[in-house]
Amino acid sequence: MSADTVATTAAAGRAPRLDLDVITPNNVGQLRCLNSALFPVHYPESFYTEAANNNPLCQLGYFNQVCVAAVCCRREPIPNEGRKQRVYLMTLGVLAPYRGYGLGTKLLDYALDQCSKDASIAEIYLHVQDGNDEALSFYQKRGFTIRETVPDYYTNIKPSAAHVLVKCTAS
């Protein structure tokens, strides 16, 4: 089914259906293809190994059985905070013809819901490249705030600065 079908479904007031599936060694190639199309950075093999290690925070998004989106997160300890953890949103992306129909929001909501189920998770954070106003707006509309801007965060792309966005998950 095409992106036109997504638009027709959205125009009719129905949310497009996005099925999620955990990333495994058998489907990690789809994540590689998506990331290659979506992001200007090259992810190392360790990224894909971690994503395909039955991590419920790493999901592929399928619209009518076509892989069009993905979200990949990892848990991290918060330094000097005992058992408190945070989640790093490594990637979240939707293929361009499928953007604007709520699929990215569904992926983000999934990640936030997973975080809310664990009281030890205090926050979720991510990096957004300086100048990526579309992504910055997307996250800010969903309650993320800029904690800091890191100059020269990216080594092989320009602009090289990145904003660190954070959203608290614990009350």
pLDDT of the residue at 51: 94
pLDDT of the residue at 96: 94
Closest to 163 (Cα-Cα) out of 142, 147, 144: 147
For residue 119 the two structure tokens come to: 């009281």
140 secondary structure, DSSP code: H
pLDDT of the residue at 13: 56
pLDDT of the residue at 109: 95
pLDDT of the residue at 11: 45
Supply the Cα-derived Rg of the chain in whole angstroms: 16
Burial letters 38-56, b for 16+ CB under 10 A, else e: beeeebeeebbebbbeebe
| Among the four given CATH numbers 3.40.630.30, 3.30.70.100, 3.40.1080.10, 3.40.50.150, the one describing domain 3-168 | 3.40.630.30
Q: Which one is catalytic: 101, 127, 139, 163?
A: 127
pLDDT of the residue at 3: 47
Is 42 catalytic? The answer is no
Consecutive 10-residue averages of pLDDT for the chain (171 residues):
46 70 95 95 93 92 94 91 91 94 93 93 95 95 96 91 91 50
pLDDT of the residue at 170: 63
Q: Which one is catalytic: 62, 88, 125, 154?
A: 88
Q: Is 143 left (phi over 0), alpha (psi -120 to 50) or beta?
A: left
On the CB side of 41, CA atoms within 13 Å amount to 19
pLDDT of the residue at 70: 97
Euclidean distance between CA atoms 10 and 65, whole angstroms: 18
Euclidean distance between CA atoms 104 and 20, whole angstroms: 12
Is 127 catalytic? The answer is yes
Closest to 39 (Cα-Cα) out of 100, 127, 106, 101: 127
Closest to 123 (Cα-Cα) out of 106, 104, 143: 143
Partnered with residue 87 across adjacent β-strands are 75, 124
Locate tokens 């013809």: which residue? 97
**Is the backbone peptide bond immediately before 159 cis, with ω within 30 degrees of 0?**
yes
Task: Map out the domains of the chain as residue ranges.
Answer: 3-168
